[in-house]
Structure 1
Amino acid sequence: MVERTPKKDSNQHNTSFSPVTLSRSPASSQINLTGSPRVVRDLVANLYNNIQHWNDSHIKGAQIVKNIAVLKSDNPKCYSSQLEEHTSNLYQVVKDLQMLKNSFDSFKGQVNALKKLKNPEILFVSLDIDSIVDMVETIANAYLKEFETKTTVLENIAHCKNDDEAMFFAACWTMQPCVTSVINLKLEALLVETGHRNFN
């Protein structure tokens, strides 16, 4: 004998899931912030802008190291005027990056000064000051390491003895091994947390 499907009891509670609504960041652009939230929000904006300028210089340098690598691959022993011009241009790019590197150092100092206030409260949506300090420091340290790599490329790429060396240094510049997807994710999280990006 086939059993009937039991009817749903009208008194049973509805156990379906409801969407989670995240609170809007108090760092919304419509709100005038003061104190630590204002300092952090401005610092994150400056960090982001610094990285955008870094990316511009990085892209410019990537084309230059590619040109140098091609010249050295064709004739590793040649030190032509063209090579000298490319090297000079790369030196200028690294000088521009040096200014941005100094800003990353400054950001670390600023955010660590906030940490001394020992504020355990959540500043925005989910992060306390210690978490924000750790994220800013991690991001800044990645770019500081990357600056060391780019300086090494500048000092060596024009003196490569063979094709492999030239391509290696060009790849080191282009790939930015210290700026990982984790670093980019931390930056995006800070932008959302401080109201510079909207929740999706």
Structure 2
Amino acid sequence: MESERTPDTTPRRKTALTGSARKLKDNAADWHNLILKWDKLNDEGSTIANKIVNQGISKGSQQHNIMLEDLEGSNSTNTEETAGHSRELEEECSKLLAVVDRMSRVLSKMEKLVSTGRGVLELEMFQCGAAGRPTPLFLTWPTTLFVEVSAKLYEAYSQELRLKQAILQELAHTSRADLSMVHLSCWLHQPYLDDSLRLQLEGLLLETGHRTL
């Protein structure tokens, strides 16, 4: 991931960071890159989820027509077409499951970033005491703030993953158009990832020199 660690292409003066400062700066860039990956997966999943909803509604309508034909004593239903539709729906569900699994792997990497930040803080407290270091590693943030921001980001993405997993379980089994649209909206707009998280990420990048004013 070393080759991805610069979130933007703005030229900046090289600094020879080492130790805790290097780890926290790398963490900030990794947060940026992982969130970009999450956003791409969310867009990919949204496209697949939309197909599942359309196929699910179509399948529900198809089943309704079959019931009517049975009541009328008609055997004109094309069972081969119905089976093909079910296979397509199953394939799209498998694709969405793969997206959620990849999101889970992204979250696991986020968890490691939180752990690394806590390790830096524990080392600092061991070396400097509970009050921490007398001067910040970068601009103004104490090391505790890096840990707090990472923990908030991780918790929000954890909640969002749980929501994605719930949507995955329900999406293919919902034939009601209104409920399906709620599922789609929740997937796309990600209610647990509000604007404040983006601001905290930008603050993290600014503090560590990945962003400039």
Does the pair score TM above 0.5?
A: yes
**Amino acid in the other structure paired with 1:155:** Q
Unaligned runs of 5+ in 2: 1-11, 64-84, 126-131
**Amino acid in the other structure paired with 1:89:** K
Matches within 5 A, 1:106-145: 106-116=112-122, 117-118=124-125, 119-120=132-133, 121-145=135-159
Aligned to 1:191: 205
Distance 1:171 1:75 in 2: 21
Aligned to 1:47, which of 31, 47, 63? 31
Aligned residues: 172
Q: 1:154 offset after TM fit, Å?
A: 0.9
Aligned to 2:107: 101
Distance 2:118 2:198 in 1: 21
1:37 aligns with 2:21: yes
CA RMSD of aligned residues (A): 1.6
Distance 1:81 1:35 in 2: 54
Distance 1:183 1:90 in 2: 25
Aligned to 1:153, which of 167, 176, 196? 167
Q: 1:76 offset after TM fit, Å?
A: 3.1
Q: 1:29 offset after TM fit, Å?
A: 5.2
Deviates more, 1:42-51 or 1:161-170: 161-170
**Percent identity of paired positions between Structure 1 and Structure 2:** 27
Secondary structure of the corresponding residue to residue 122 of structure 1: coil
Aligned to 2:41: 57
Runs of 4+ in 1 over 4 A off after TM superposition: none
Distance 1:112 1:190 in 2: 15
Q: 1:73 offset after TM fit, Å?
A: 2.8
TM-score scaled by length of structure 1: 0.81
Unaligned runs of 5+ in 1: 1-27
Is the radius of gyration larger for structure 1 or structure 2? 1
- 8 A contact 1:115–1:130 mirrored in 2: yes
Aligned to 1:72: 56
Aligned to 2:81: none
- 8 A contact 1:72–1:163 mirrored in 2: no
**Amino acid in the other structure paired with 1:152:** A
Q: 1:72 offset after TM fit, Å?
A: 2.2
**Higher fraction of helix:** 2
Q: 1:131 offset after TM fit, Å?
A: 1.0
Aligned to 1:84: 90
TM-score scaled by length of structure 2: 0.76
Deviates more, 1:80-89 or 1:177-186: 80-89
Secondary structure of the corresponding residue to residue 76 of structure 1: helix
Aligned to 2:190: 176
- 8 A contact 1:29–1:195 mirrored in 2: no
